[in-house]
C-alpha cells in the first residue's frame, strides 16, 4: 500500500481535486440546477407561435425545437409541436407515432383534415403535444403549388384548432429549406426562432433567411417578427465559439438569448431513445442549458404581455 504525505502548504481542496476545471464545472451545474428549481413563470395572453427555421442544416434546429418545447412544458406551459419536416425527427424525439398511415400534417395541408384529428399527446409530459410528420410530407411541396391559398393552409387550420384548444406555445419545426412548407410556417407564426451554430459558417445564409422573413412580412404576414436567436453547439474552450457569439450578439443584441447550448453527448444521444434531453438526462449540461433558454423565452413573453397592457 502506498501512502502519500500531504504537504503542509496543500489545501484540503487541492487534496481532493475540488479546484479542478471538472469540479468547477460540476459546482456550476449544481448551482444552475438549484436556480432553475426556484423559477416560476406565467404564460399570459394569446398563444405564442414560433417557427424554428434555418435553411443551413446541422445547426440543431429540430433538437432545439423539441427540447425547448419539453422545457417550456416543464415550466407549466401547454405546448404543441408542429412537425413540418418530412424527415419526422421531431415526432421521433417526442415518441410520437408517425408511420406512413398515421394522420399527419400532410393530411391537414393537402386533404384539409382538421388539426384536432392529427394531434397526439407525448408520453413525456401531459403538457406536451405533437402534430406529426410522415414521409408523405415530402411530396407536399409539389402538391401545394396547385392548391387554393397555398401559403395560408397551415395558418387557417392552426387558428381553428387554437380557437377550440387552449395552448400557450406552438413551435413549428421547419425543413432546412425555403420552400412552400417553410412559407406556410412563416405565415402561421408570429415569432421566428433561429438556432445558430457557434462555428465559422454561422452567419452563412442568414442574410437570405432574413430577406425571406422580410418578404413574408411585406406580402403575407406583417405580424411576423424575428424575436429569438439561440446559439447552439457552443464550445467555451475555443476562441472561435467566443468570436462567433460576440459577432452574433453585436448584430442582434435584442434577439440573442443569454443561454447558450453547449456541445453535448447527451443531447445527441437522446433522440435515439425517442426522448428529448430533458427526459433522457435532466441533470446534464445540455438539459440545463435548454431549460435556461426556455425560462428566458417565457420571461420575454411575460414582459411583452405587460408592455401591451400598459
Q: What would the pLDDT profile of 66-95 be if each residue is shown by its tens digit?
A: 999 999 999 999 999 999 999 999 999 999
Residue 81, CA distances (Å) to 101, 123, 171, 183 in order: 20, 14, 5, 17
Residue 154, burial from CB neighbour count under 10 angstroms (0-12, 13-18, 19+): buried
Cα-trace Rg, the chain: 21
Q: Residue 270: pLDDT above 70?
A: yes
- pLDDT for 259 equals 95
User: In this model, does residue 177 exceed pLDDT 90?
Assistant: no
The model's confidence at residue 193, banded by pLDDT at 50, 70 and 90, is very high
Banded model confidence at residue 20, pLDDT cuts 50, 70, 90: confident
Q: Where are the alpha helices (DSSP H) in the chain?
A: 12-15, 21-37, 61-74, 89-93, 105-111, 140-144, 153-164, 180-188, 206-219, 239-251, 265-269, 277-280, 285-309
**CA 240, CA 258: separation in Å to the nearest integer?**
18
The pLDDT, as a whole number, for residue 310 is 65
Q: What is the pLDDT of residue 2?
A: 42
pTM, entire model = 0.90
Please tell me the number of Cα atoms within 13 Å of 281 on its side-chain side. 13
Question: 117-145: per-residue pLDDT in tens?
Answer: 999 999 999 999 999 999 999 999 899 99
The residue with cell 429549406 is: 177
Q: pLDDT band for position 25 (50/70/90)?
A: confident
Q: What was the pLDDT predicted at 59?
A: 84
Predicted pLDDT of residue 6: 43
Q: What angle do CA 37, 38, 42 make, to 5 degrees?
A: 105
If pLDDT is split at 50, 70 and 90, which confidence band does 200 have? confident
Strands of the 191-197 sheet, one edge to the other: 120-121, 128-131, 79-83, 169-173, 48-52, 191-197, 225-234, 256-262
Check pLDDT > 80 for residue 18: no
Q: What DSSP letter does each residue of 38-67 carry, written as one string?
A: T------SSPEEEEE--SSSSSSHHHHHHH
How do residues 273-308 score in pLDDT, each as one tens digit? 999 999 999 999 999 999 999 999 999 998 888 877
Separation in Å, CA 192 to CA 126, 180, 188: 25, 16, 11
Q: Does residue 12 have a pLDDT over 90?
A: no
> What is the rounded average pLDDT of the residues 175-188?
91
Half-sphere exposure for 225 (CA within 13 Å, toward CB):
8
pLDDT (0 to 100) of residue 174 = 92
Say how far apart CA 52 and CA 193 lie, in whole Å: 5
Mean residue pLDDT across the chain: 89
Amino acid at each position: 500500500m502506498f501512502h502519500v504525505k500531504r504537504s503542509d502548504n496543500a489545501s484540503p481542496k487541492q487534496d481532493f481535486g475540488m479546484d479542478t476545471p471538472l469540479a468547477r464545472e460540476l459546482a456550476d451545474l449544481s448551482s444552475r440546477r438549484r436556480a432553475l428549481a426556484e423559477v416560476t413563470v406565467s404564460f399570459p395572453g394569446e398563444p405564442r407561435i414560433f417557427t424554428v427555421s434555418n435553411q443551413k442544416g446541422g445547426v440543431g434546429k429540430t433538437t432545439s425545437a423539441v427540447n425547448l418545447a419539453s422545457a417550456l412544458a416543464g415550466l407549466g406551459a401547454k405546448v404543441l409541436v408542429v412537425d413540418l419536416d418530412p424527415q419526422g425527427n421531431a415526432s421521433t424525439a417526442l415518441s410520437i407515432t408517425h408511420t406512413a398511415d398515421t394522420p399527419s400534417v400532410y393530411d391537414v395541408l393537402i386533404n384539409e383534415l382538421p388539426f384536432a384529428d392529427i394531434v397526439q399527446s407525448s408520453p413525456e409530459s401531459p403538457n406536451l403535444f405533437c402534430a406529426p410528420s410522415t414521409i408523405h410530407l415530402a411530396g407536399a411541396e409539389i402538391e401545394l403549388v396547385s392548391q387554393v391559398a397555398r401559403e395560408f393552409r397551415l395558418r387557417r387550420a392552426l387558428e381553428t384548432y387554437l380557437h377550440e384548444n387552449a395552448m400557450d406555445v406552438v413551435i413549428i419545426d421547419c425543413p432546412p429549406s425555403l420552400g412552400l412548407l417553410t412559407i406556410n410556417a412563416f405565415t402561421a407564426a408570429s415569432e421566428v426562432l433561429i438556432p445558430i451554430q457557434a462555428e465559422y459558417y454561422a452567419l452563412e445564409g442568414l442574410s437570405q433567411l432574413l430577406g425571406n422573413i422580410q418578404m413574408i412580412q411585406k406580402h403575407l404576414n406583417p405580424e411576423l417578427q424575428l424575436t429569438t436567436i439561440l446559439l447552439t453547439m457552443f464550445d467555451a474552450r475555443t476562441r472561435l465559439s467566443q468570436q462567433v457569439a460576440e459577432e452574433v450578439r453585436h448584430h442582434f443584441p435584442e434577439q440573442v438569448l443569454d443561454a447558450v447550448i453547449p456541445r453535448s453527448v447527451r443531447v445527441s444521444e437522446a433522440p435515439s431513445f425517442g426522448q428529448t434531453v430533458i427526459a433522457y438526462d435532466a441533470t446534464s449540461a445540455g438539459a440545463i442549458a435548454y431549460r435556461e433558454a426556455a425560462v428566458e423565452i417565457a420571461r420575454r413573453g411575460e414582459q411583452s404581455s405587460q408592455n401591451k397592457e400598459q
